[in-house]
Amino acid sequence: MNVQTRPEPFTLQRRKPGGGTAPLTGWGFANETDRLTDVLLGNPAYLRHMATSSLSRKHLRENPCNIQVAQAQHKELVAAYEHFGVKVHTVPPEPELAMQVYTRDSSVMTPYGAFITAMSQWWRRGENYAAIRHYESLGIPIYDMVTAGTFEGGDFNVIEEGCVLIGCGGARTQEEGARQVAGWFEAEGWEVRLAFIDEYYVHIDLMVVPVAPKLTAVCLACTEPGIVDWLKAKGHEIIDVPFQDTMALGCNFMSLGGDRVIAPSSSQVLIGQLKARGFEVAEVDMSEISKTGGGIHCMAQALKRVP
């Protein structure tokens, strides 16, 4: 006899202030390297090239994004997820939200529900509200909402179960927001490490992204040595992604679990290292869409992973 689990009712604050929030049963994940079953993507229908970061400003000056090519590249990204059997959920596009394709930033999925971030740039703040509406439509409760300063999802990096690396560059994620989020997860019993990065690098997932259990891709040229030592002390093997590749979003990939990865085709050093270890890698050309300021990891919010 199959016992059906009743979906949990939608709520706007599921977090227990003192910790001890129960994990969800139908959504969420324990780490970023288990098998991905459901992912939240944006739709680039209204994508515009805006001055969101040093990288996007450079391309805006020298060689602006061809939006039609960028949209075609995003279709290839969607196809890569579908090829691996991942169910793609898409936030409905809104003409006012030019950067909505970057679903990593406006919210963060956790074992306890999604938390809503506080976007730094005024033209992206509407993405937070769109995220709330979409989580309600999926029946995914909200864990909490950032209220102390700005915080963006690219700075929440689950290194392994019960351990998170939180980036803080000051411009996109302020220390006040980072410490508020850190406090939530410390109360849940997690180990939390803050990484103070230069705002030039935007988010921590530009330079540090988990690949598989105890295997992490890191740009050693721009990651604080203390963070690298911390990872190694946990038994993590490091794949070094060259600085030039990292600045082209080459360390910004998506682990699907089960030794499968979606990576930008330009990141050949990383891809070679992964294939040498037996990984199946879907190489996707992100050269045009990434001019707008983000990569594959920035464009995805994992909704559910299973061991």
Report if residue 12 sits inside a domain: no
In the chain, alpha helices (H) = 54-62, 67-83, 103-106, 126-138, 175-187, 225-233, 243-247, 268-276
Which helix (DSSP H) or strand (DSSP E) does residue 196 occupy? strand 191-196
Instruction: Provide the edge-to-edge strand list for the sheet that holds 113-116.
Output: 107-110, 113-116, 142-145
Q: What is the pLDDT at residue 4?
A: 46
SS3 163: strand
Report if residue 173 sits inside a domain: yes
**pLDDT tens for residues 52-95?**
988 899 899 999 999 999 999 999 999 999 999 999 999 999 99
Q: What is the pLDDT at residue 1?
A: 44
Mean pLDDT of the chain: 96
Report if residue 4 sits inside a domain: no
Contact 43, 93 (CB under 8 A): yes
**pLDDT tens for residues 229-278?**
999 999 999 999 999 999 999 999 999 999 999 999 999 999 999 999 99
Rounded to two decimals, the pTM is 0.95
Report if residue 2 sits inside a domain: no
State the pLDDT confidence band at 182, using cuts at 50, 70 and 90: very high
- What's the token pair of residue 123? 């033209």
**Closest by Cα among 144, 92, 88 to 113:** 144
Would you say residue 126 has pLDDT above 90? yes
CATH number at residue 193: 3.75.10.10
Fill in the amino acid letter for 132.
I
Report if residue 104 sits inside a domain: yes
Give the number of domains in the chain.
1
Report if residue 19 sits inside a domain: no
**pLDDT tens for residues 32-48?**
999 999 999 999 999 99
Give the domain extent around 125.
33-304
**Closest by Cα among 265, 274, 256, 263 to 296:** 263
CA dist 217 and 273 (Å) reads 10
Report if residue 27 sits inside a domain: no
Report if residue 20 sits inside a domain: no
